[in-house]
Amino acid sequence: MGRTRRGLRLRAADPEDIQVLSSFLQDALVRVGDMGYERRARRFVLVLNRYRWEAPPGAGHAQGSRVRTGVHFQGVLAARSKGIARDDPDQVIELLTVDAALREDGAGTIVMVFAGGALICLDVECIACELSDLGEPWPARHRPRHRQLTDG
């Protein structure tokens, strides 16, 4: 995993790597039309507007910044979705988290959870994922906020 002059670049090969990748993708916005499963290539790709949690607000970006980011998963055997209107390619959904679970043979499932309960589940032969920032960041309109959980 590393950072280049042109932005963030990450590789994920196990569930722990997926947790790191998930933290960078939290609150990313994606158009339904900017993601898809390429069955013959056994690849799932998405291009999102990632909130740059690693770059604190300031320096002209009072609310922080976003950057266009490409993510692809290799070795995808099947892709399923729930709660995503695939007939509306302009619908924008917010990615909350990415999780991975592996079996003893190394195959497993990757689950992307979106706001509103939407899900994408990928059956994978192994974890093989790459994330790359694709351009220059721009000022975010809003800094994502999360409800505070309280006891009781």
Spans of all domains in the chain:
16-136
Q: What is the DSSP string of 53-92?
A: TTS-SBTTBTT-EEEEEEEEEESEEEEEEES--TT-TT-E
User: Is a pLDDT exceeding 50 seen at residue 40?
Assistant: yes
* pTM: predicted TM-score of the whole model, two decimal places: 0.87
Rounded Cα gap, residues 140 and 27, in angstroms: 12
Give percent helix, percent strand, percent coil of the chain, each to the nearest 5: 10, 50, 40
User: Is a pLDDT exceeding 70 seen at residue 4?
Assistant: no
Beta bridge partners of 113: 97, 119
Residue 3 has what pLDDT?
Answer: 46
In a 3-state reduction of DSSP, which class is residue 94?
strand
Query: Cβ(7)–Cβ(67) under 8 Å?
Result: yes
User: Where does the pLDDT of residue 69 fall: very low under 50, low under 70, confident under 90, or very high at 90 and above?
Assistant: very high
Rounded Cα gap, residues 103 and 61, in angstroms: 43
Residue 99 has what pLDDT?
Answer: 97
CA-wise closest residue to 75 among 1, 22, 17, 129: 129
Instruction: List pLDDT tens digits, range 42-55.
Output: 999 999 999 998 88
Instruction: List pLDDT tens digits, range 76-131.
Output: 999 999 999 989 999 999 999 999 999 999 899 999 999 999 999 999 999 999 99
Biggest alpha carbon–alpha carbon distance for the chain? 50
User: Where does the pLDDT of residue 142 fall: very low under 50, low under 70, confident under 90, or very high at 90 and above?
Assistant: confident
| Lowest-confidence region among 14-18, 63-67, 71-75, 122-126 | 63-67
